[in-house]
Amino acid sequence: MSEAALVQGNEACARGAIAAGCRFYGGYPITPSSEIAEHMVRMLPEVGGVFVQMEDEIASLASVIGASLAGSKAMTASSGPGFTLMQEHLGFAAMAEVPCVVVDVMRGGPSTGLPTSPSQGDVMQARWGTHGDHPAIVLAPSSVGEVFDLTVRAFNLAERFRTPVIVIYDEIIGHTRESVTLPESVEIVDRVRPNGDADTFWPKVAPPDGVPPLPAFGDGYRFHVTGLAHDERGFPTTDADLAGALLTRLHRKVEVHVDDIVVVEDFMMDDADVAIFAYGIVARSAREAVLRARDRGVKAGLIRPVTLWPFPHRQVAVAAKHLDTMIVAEMNLGQLIGEVERAAAGDAEIIGHLRADGEPITPTDLLAVLTSSEGGRS
């Protein structure tokens, strides 16, 4: 039976990756994610894996894509500036349908910004950082134990849907140490591999779930990999019908399974008149603020999206119908508040509590908003 241990958030990420079957890490050190690489360089050789420090973040994700195509579960980790450099290859992985995991430990920005301070300024970049219409799955843990769990889940989703999956949290979670009991074993999902005749194999012929099988280089199946629009043989095409069908399938393979992907945690929402919408470390503050507000007679609740993308529009819409006010608390100048407003569709007043100065949003900050009779954005 597992025993509780004092574990850092970034260490939990590395442990989760190993537990999920990750056997390749290609990366470049950057604050505040570097501990992930430091743990992976020690742990991967113990399980027969490979760690490579690349020359930059562009090459890091390129190496991860190559390792995944060779049959390995692969990941990298970075922070704001490095995550920016990875965007071209994120788009390539989405278009070529290469499963991989990217961890973004957020810090203050823009540019090199505040390297040792927390932020939630990358959540829109995680969805729309690369160009074009592409699917996106982004998970946001709020505790050390959840970093482990969601890293495992990220690998499982990447393998199931043949797409890059992003785990996104901030400097505080990355560097916090908490007493956690990590599981000795986890559920593991592996990509589907082809089992038919190699001579007649077309790499992009998809079954009803929209996810084609993926052979590894060396398995005997010849296939072409490209970031260009391509046909079912995997070769580039400019045919509008074929290009449109490809992009539609890339989205639908995620959209039709949105109920399996999206996770939202509700806290004290049964009779709430006012709720905080918060994710990551801010949700920790929000939970405490809700408890304090309840002690003062305020019917407060918390909506915490564990999955940021696909955005939980349905869950927010349902909650808004029963609320007077929803407070969107983010450590940025307002990135997800627009999505909340769109989902709420006028059924609840939406108030922003926003902060982008490198300091965390505290329970006291949010309690003041919950108990205030004044509206407006802070």
Residue 217 has pLDDT above 60, yes or no: yes
Domains observed in the chain: 5-180 (3.40.50.970), 264-371 (3.40.50.920)
pLDDT number for residue 363: 98
Residue 244 has pLDDT above 90, yes or no: yes
pLDDT number for residue 3: 80
**Average pLDDT over every residue of 185-204:** 94
Residue 378 has pLDDT above 80, yes or no: no
The mean predicted confidence, pLDDT, of the chain is 96
Sheet holding 300-305, edge to edge: 264-267, 300-305, 274-277, 325-330, 349-354
Pairing of strands 73-78, 22-27: parallel
> Contact at 8 Å (CB) between 141 and 167?
yes
Rounded distance between C-alpha atoms, residue 275 and residue 272, angstroms: 7
Rounded distance between C-alpha atoms, residue 120 and residue 123, angstroms: 6
pLDDT number for residue 373: 43
pLDDT tier for residue 340 given thresholds of 50, 70 and 90: very high
> Contact at 8 Å (CB) between 165 and 136?
no
**Average pLDDT over every residue of 294-305:** 97
> For 247-299, what is each residue's pLDDT tens digit?
999 999 999 999 999 999 999 999 999 999 999 999 999 999 999 999 999 99
pLDDT number for residue 2: 73
Residue 117 has pLDDT above 50, yes or no: yes
**Average pLDDT over every residue of 159-164:** 98
- Helix or strand or coil: residue 128? helix
The answer, as to whether pTM is greater than 0.85, is: yes
- Classify burial at 346, counting beta carbons within 10 Å of its beta carbon; exposed 0-12, middle 13-18, buried 19 or more: exposed
Residue 227 has pLDDT above 70, yes or no: yes
> For 60-90, what is each residue's pLDDT tens digit?
999 999 999 999 999 999 999 999 999 999 9
**Average pLDDT over every residue of 194-203:** 92
**Average pLDDT over every residue of 232-244:** 97
